[in-house]
Structure 1
Amino acid sequence: MARQASLSGYLELLPQERLAELHLLDTLRGIFESHGYGSLETRAVETVETLLQKGEIDKEIYTVSRIHDDGAKDARLALRFDNTVPFARYVTENAGHLAFPYRRYQIQKVWRGERPQAGRFREFTQADIDIVGDGALPPRADVEIAVVMASALEALQIGDFTMRINSRKLSEGFYRAIGIEQTAEVLRAVDKLEKIGPARVEQEIMETAGATSEQAQQALALAQIRTPDVSFVEQVRALLPDQTGHELLEEGLAEVTEVIHEMSIRVPGRAVADLSIARGLDYYTGTVFETVLHDHPQLGSICSGGRYESLATKGKRTFPGVGLSIGVTRLLSALFDSGELVASRSVPTAVYVTLRSDDDWGAAQNVADTLRSRGINAEVALSAEKFGKQIKYADKRGIPFVWFTDDDGRHEVKDIRSGDQVQADPASWTPADEDLSPQIIRKTADL
């Protein structure tokens, strides 16, 4: 993984790494589909206007243009920076053809003009799941999305992780209850807490939100609440002993309580109420999520998202939703670099069918076809080189078995790892289950 890239910020995997990536993506698809989520792909480009409507990301957008400009006044196009904004556009354009609540998963590449560094890429794959309603979406959708994604992360067997959960309603309602009106500025400041520390966050709250020192300290006290259960509710109320609270605060407390409670049943030990989580993008309006991998804290959040009430609108019609996204490339790069995730071989081929002479190519293809018809991946040599050279090629490719056929049509297969060679019939011979396809090997992180 520590290879020299010809273009920084763009990751190209070796065959063995690509097999591991495909296994990870197939695992995610299986979990998502088992919960009723259907696959969606959207176009790579959106109009610049569409992308700029959602958050402060103008410096990260890659615009798209033709080399030859004929003067046509077409809309300016740009590559998508996430899957959520294109999804919102897709929903509004195709609402008449969708059944709501609409559940979808989307696994595609996105592009951001970020400065390349460890774990940060300019082109990378994201895996998203969302539930979208028409006009309304019950809060239990937030619960479902969290449970599904936590189940998917467990299925990946990538090590211990924690999903940190808060609600922007909870935070905003608390800020209003203590007299702060510029709540967006406080949320943006608190979102930087782990990067810049409490002292600078307190200063920023006072400077940008017009808060007093006491109010800023109360906001920081809220952000420091973390519980693995619903006891966070009492801790929040303890910060407001002489006040009745705020309606938005009560909604947020109730919604986070439901998520934490249900996750403790469905995926125990995976969720914590963390009232420092705010999320930077402006379109989140309710529950927000961030997920940390215990063996790789330097990665930050590997899976994040939240609730949005008005990301997708069409006239007076609104499509509220909730979604979560995994940074697949970011996660994979860390697992590859640490040696935790490897494939047992670099190709799906289980059997390499050799040639005694070039005239045997057709017969060798018949052998391979028989094996393939029985679910055994096979490939055939392209030329009749010396057997030693053919075996060496198969070994370099990581193919475990080599097939031989003599002049009388008798077949033998050799396990080139052990050297064992036995008679075999292409219509009945079967390798061990673990040799049928590459195995994805997960090792403990050596940190």
Structure 2
Amino acid sequence: MARKASLSGFPEWLPNERLVELHVQDTLRRTFELHGFSNIETRAVETVGQLLRKGEIDKEVYGLSRLQAEEGEAAGTDPNALALHFDLTVPFARYVVENAGHLAFPFRRYQIQKVWRGERPQDGRFREFTQADIDVVGDGALPFRYDVELALVIADALGSLPIGEFTVRVNNRKLAEGFYRGLGLEDTAAVLRSVDKLEKIGPDKVAELLISETGATEDQARAALALASIRTADTSFAEQVRALGVQHELLDEGLAELTEVIEAASRRAPGTVVADLSIARGLDYYTGTVYETVLVGHEKLGSICSGGRYESLASKGNRVFPGVGLSIGVSRLVSRLLADGGLQASRDVPTAVLVALNDDDSWYQAQDVATALRARGIAVEVAAKAEKFGKQIRYADRRGIPFVWFTTAEGTHEVKDIRSGDQVAADPQSWTPPAEDLQPGITTS
């Protein structure tokens, strides 16, 4: 289990834990690339104006300034001041606009980077953490089928990790907004923000918020909560929505889109992707499909993966770049896996072989052995001192290195598996450890 960080909200993994994190990242990277997503990396800082232009989250943004600011430098409240990015979607939108002339659309990208968010640290929530994002962005238009595809990609990506059962919960903002308008509630953004708090504060408190902050009547609040209570693993949600008796053109459009997502998911990932009409997503830039993913049995941890459709987050004059994307909270996921002992590395170091020294003069000969092994992709360390072989073996054991290499006085070579005690003749030009020992393995408890 990870040590408690000396600076709250800024986790630092031990080597064994870091190997687990890298395994998660590598698995996601392979899956994303199998689905045709290209990797990019954006800068860590954006202007305050860029970060805050879609949604009011200024309390969570870390401003960036020098301790001794020079005259004329922007202050934290200036839209031109610099701040650390709080997610990867807003920087990606800026990246698309600035590089549109060099990108082929629809543009498919994935990004695995650190982000910073000034929220209260707690279980699974950090101030510095890693996210893994995928997005598809179009130029002027983006076919809805990408909304369907992303639900399937994320189910594939998370299904490749030994994290147990998970549920991708999907809703549609058009469905929700059309329903609210059909009720006579025009401030749909405020209603969505209230409904987004449903799991945190419960239906009674949300009803109070709807009445006090959006001007809803008790009947309207009751209807909004009735919509949020609908959850199905098939397309029967549409009938339940219709049974509530609300009509609106935007509602019809949202129902059709969500039905298409759930129909496809029920064939490709049955039971994994469900329609959940309580999902709202508080950020203002989402316009259609929205996703949230939870670990079954760990729902209190919150969403480990979320995102949605946006039509105008990225724009340049009359040119718009609609997109759909999802973000996996890698640090949140890893912290849970480590806390539960669900994943652990088979050893703490990448080293598979320690080349032992007969005497100090044999160090250069040992380096020749190490070079031959490394040329074939085997991670090797050379002992620093010609201590008794027993001490060199104990050093390897403490480090978690499975094999120790010996060169005899006659110039022949032997390798010892210190776990079993087996020692056999070996050739530096051809010997290879078993495949499971070539690199640290990630195992489930």
Q: Which amino acid aligns with 2:81?
A: R
Query: Could you say which residue in structure 2 is the equivalent of 1:419?
Result: 421
Normalising by the residue count of structure 1, what TM-score does the alignment of the two structures yield?
0.96
Aligned residues: 440
CA distance in structure 1 between the aligned counterparts of 2:230 and 2:379, rounded to whole angstroms: 54
CA distance in structure 2 between the aligned counterparts of 1:285 and 1:64, rounded to whole angstroms: 31
Q: Is the 8 A contact 2:292 2:305 kept in 1?
A: yes
CA distance in structure 2 between the aligned counterparts of 1:211 and 1:87, rounded to whole angstroms: 36
* Structure 1 position 199, deviation (Å): 1.1
CA distance in structure 2 between the aligned counterparts of 1:186 and 1:259, rounded to whole angstroms: 24
* Structure 1 position 2, deviation (Å): 4.5
Normalising by the residue count of structure 2, what TM-score does the alignment of the two structures yield?
0.97
Q: 1:207 aligns with which of 199, 206, 212?
A: 212
Q: Is the 8 A contact 2:211 2:217 kept in 1?
A: yes
Tell me the SS of whatever aligns to 1:103. Answer: strand
Query: Could you say which residue in structure 2 is the equivalent of 1:5?
Result: 5
Tell whether 2:166 aligns with 1:161: yes
Tell me the SS of whatever aligns to 1:128. Answer: strand
Which one is further off, 33-42 or 174-183?
174-183
Query: Could you say which residue in structure 2 is the equivalent of 1:65?
Result: 65
CA distance in structure 1 between the aligned counterparts of 2:63 and 2:171, rounded to whole angstroms: 34
Which one is further off, 121-130 or 12-21?
12-21
Query: Could you say which residue in structure 1 is the equivalent of 2:227?
Result: 222
Tell me the SS of whatever aligns to 1:10. Answer: coil
CA distance in structure 1 between the aligned counterparts of 2:120 and 2:222, rounded to whole angstroms: 34
* Structure 1 position 327, deviation (Å): 0.4
* Structure 1 position 378, deviation (Å): 1.3
Tell me the SS of whatever aligns to 1:85. Answer: helix
Query: Could you say which residue in structure 2 is the equivalent of 1:38?
Result: 38
Q: Which amino acid aligns with 1:42?
A: T
Query: Could you say which residue in structure 2 is the equivalent of 1:177?
Result: 182
* Structure 1 position 70, deviation (Å): 2.0
Query: Could you say which residue in structure 2 is the equivalent of 1:298?
Result: 300
Q: 2:130 aligns with which of 125, 137, 140?
A: 125
Q: 1:403 aligns with which of 402, 405, 427?
A: 405
| 1:382-441 alpha-carbon deviations (Å, 9 max, x no partner) | 221222221111111111000010121111111111111112112222221111111101
Tell me the SS of whatever aligns to 1:156. Answer: coil
Moved over 6 A (4+): none
Q: Is the 8 A contact 1:182 1:210 kept in 2?
A: no
Q: Is the 8 A contact 2:155 2:272 kept in 1?
A: yes
CA distance in structure 1 between the aligned counterparts of 2:27 and 2:59, rounded to whole angstroms: 34
CA distance in structure 2 between the aligned counterparts of 1:73 and 1:329, rounded to whole angstroms: 34
Q: Is the 8 A contact 1:159 1:295 kept in 2?
A: no
| 1:122-168 alpha-carbon deviations (Å, 9 max, x no partner) | 10000000000111111111011111111000011211000000001
Tell me the SS of whatever aligns to 2:392. Answer: helix
CA distance in structure 1 between the aligned counterparts of 2:6 and 2:197, rounded to whole angstroms: 33
Unaligned runs of 5+ in 1: none
RMSD over aligned Cα atoms: 1.1
Tell me the SS of whatever aligns to 1:441. Answer: strand
Q: Is the 8 A contact 1:163 1:272 kept in 2?
A: yes
* Structure 1 position 247, deviation (Å): 1.3
| 1:202-247 alpha-carbon deviations (Å, 9 max, x no partner) | 121112221111111111100000000000001000001xx5x211
- Aligned pairs for 1:280-291 (under 5 A) are 280-291=282-293
Q: Which amino acid aligns with 1:324?
A: L
Q: Is the 8 A contact 1:232 1:273 kept in 2?
A: yes
Query: Could you say which residue in structure 2 is the equivalent of 1:28?
Result: 28
CA distance in structure 1 between the aligned counterparts of 2:67 and 2:211, rounded to whole angstroms: 49
Query: Could you say which residue in structure 2 is the equivalent of 1:366?
Result: 368
Query: Could you say which residue in structure 2 is the equivalent of 1:134?
Result: 139
CA distance in structure 1 between the aligned counterparts of 2:407 and 2:297, rounded to whole angstroms: 50
* Structure 1 position 173, deviation (Å): 0.4
